[in-house]
A and B are shown apart, each in its own frame.
Chain A
Amino acid sequence: MTIPAEPAVRLDSATVRFMSERGAITALEKVSVAIPAGGFVTLLGPSGCGKSTLLRLVADLVPAAEGQVTVLGGTPATARATRQLGFVFQDPTLLPWRSALDNVRLPFEVGPRKGDARGRRTPEELLRLVGLGGREAALPHELSGGMRQRVAIARALVTEPRLLLMDEPFGALDEITRDSLNEELLRIWQETGTTILFVTHSIPEAVFLSQQVLVLATNPGRVRELVDCALPYPRALRIRETTDFMRIAAHLRALLETC
């Protein structure tokens, strides 16, 4: 896979601080990284290493105290306002009074650019893409955890974002559901061509999904190493039994132990 010159996300010594009762806490310190357009990069690290903060920085949910953040050639705020970002939270965050279909339609009903936000795929098509054809009218409490997260993914994709940010989207699911959603996510990624920035604390998930794994260290959050996952796509779950996969996983595990 060729990597285009212009990265989708570029961080130049980006620092994020939070104010707490005991003074300022540095969540991310001088992080510099470039996420290639169309790439699948996973953020991996121990709790409190700032991987979610990095995602929120890119999504314009937290500001940078220092340094520069470029998202799709502009500021994070522009990328957000022009609907080029999709965000999937760990919790599906569906509106419980809306049907699956109406939840996917939500991005068309809010925001300054709701009129021209329509992508090539209709909400109905996206629900089919995530395997929920026929469940359009179901309310969130009538769906399983995995199905709810699929709806959230469809909602994030409905505006055809050029960048999809996923904050431990499968962290609360059982392993079997997680495996099948991992495979589906790769399929969706290759079908849509969107850039994906994915947060997880599961090493197998990181290696299985991504082209590159950005390992973060804690206290303060900083880049430890950018690890290539040179495994061919399309990937099937069986790839996890290959020696290449295990070698990369072992390397990541060793890195995490020293983070």
Chain B
Amino acid sequence: MAVLDRAGTVAAAGARSVGIERRRRPWRDRLPPIVAALGLLAAWQLGAWAFGLPIYIAPTPAQVARTLVAELPILLRNFLPTAVESLIGFLVGNTAAILVAVVFVHSKRLEAAFYPIAVFVNTIPVLAKAPILVLIFGLGMTSKVVIAAFICFFPTLANMVRGLQSVNPQSLELMRVLSASRSEVFWKLRVPSSLPFLFSALKIASTTSVLGAIVGEWIGADLGLGALIIEATHNFRSPLLYATIFVASGWAVVFFAVVSFVERRVVTWKPAEAH
């Protein structure tokens, strides 16, 4: 019976494109990762006990959870600026990337001139870029927004350029037979074709923008999860450090989930590569 049941689950996973199947068994798909996560937490807890590790080296999950509750006001106060910085950075960086991609697609010359520069700037590690941007934009939130925006910019630019150019050549011929104008080809063909590419980039950006904001806060900030990480590390407050990391990751996961949700709503078709 168990074997049969397992086969049934596999078949359901194979039939994922069928909407009913997907809706009917969400908990079955979600169970394995939940079990795995709980198992790892249990192993961590047991390991910390078994080896008698001091709390400042490796706090147990239970200690981290207690800190998470006890220090919630501090965590929330530091969470807010990081959330705002990463969100605005996400919006600014991706908007800029989309606009630059549109310009590149319309002008081969500008693309040839500026794409290598974009690649070069992208190769500078964020840890090297961040101090420069803090020098320019100061210790306030602006510098963190700019760092988060920078970190989002390149993946979205590269994907969006590819997306806008991914149009099927025969679709372009169809548009020509229909005497479509350049702007009609852009809005009716290029933009929708690029959306699957854009959302791949936005999903990356949703998590890296949080990373960017935190790195920016490391360089210098009074408030923010990055600042709290530094402070907790320096004061050997490991449970607080872990709790802060938990909040930062949680925010990135929520951000990612929201972008994925919007993607499923927008990209309802099968992109060309999926055929």
Chain A residues packing against B (C-beta within 8 Å)? 59-61, 80-81, 83, 85-87, 89, 91, 93, 95-97, 106-107, 109-113, 139-141
Contact = CB atoms under 8 A, between A and B. Distances in A.
B133 to A, nearest CB: 38
A95 B270 contact: no
Interface string B232-272: 00000000000000000000000000000000000111111
A118 to B, nearest CB: 14
Nearest to A110: B180
B173 interface: yes
A86 B270 CA distance: 27
20 contacts: A61-B173, A80-B179, A83-B179, A93-B174, A95-B188, A95-B192, A96-B269, A96-B272, A97-B192, A97-B195, A97-B268, A107-B178, A109-B184, A110-B184, A110-B185, A110-B188, A111-B179, A111-B184, A139-B268, A141-B275
A81 B176 CA distance: 9
Contacts of B175: 110
Contact of A113 (B173, B176, B177, B179): B179
Given A97-B268, A109-B188, A141-B269, A85 B171 contact: no
Given A89-B170, A109-B188, A97 B180 contact: no
Nearest to B170: A93
9 shortest interchain CB distances as A-B pairs: A110-B180, A111-B179, A141-B270, A96-B269, A110-B184, A87-B177, A97-B269, A93-B170, A97-B192
Contacts, number: 66
Contacts of B158: none
A60 B178 CA distance: 11
Nearest to B188: A110
A140 B269 contact: yes
Nearest to B171: A93
A110 B171 contact: no
A96 B176 contact: no
A60 B175 CA distance: 12
A59 B174 CA distance: 10
A97 B188 CA distance: 10
Contacts of A83: 179
B178 A139 contact: no
Nearest to B195: A97
Given A106-B188, A110-B188, A91 B177 contact: no
Nearest to B274: A141
Given A61-B176, A89-B170, A110-B175, A96 B270 contact: yes
A111 B171 contact: no
Given A96-B270, A106-B178, A111-B178, A89 B173 contact: yes
A60 B173 CA distance: 10
B107 interface: no
B12 interface: no
Contact of A91 (B170, B180, B184, B195): B170
Greatest chain B CB density within 10 A among A86, A93, A139 is at A93
Contact of B269 (A93, A109, A139): A139
Contacts of B275: 141
B181 A110 contact: yes
A83 B175 CA distance: 12
Given A61-B177, A89-B170, A140-B269, 11 more contacts: A61-B176, A83-B179, A89-B173, A93-B168, A96-B272, A97-B269, A109-B184, A110-B180, A139-B268, A139-B269, A139-B270
B177 A80 contact: yes
A46 B192 CA distance: 37
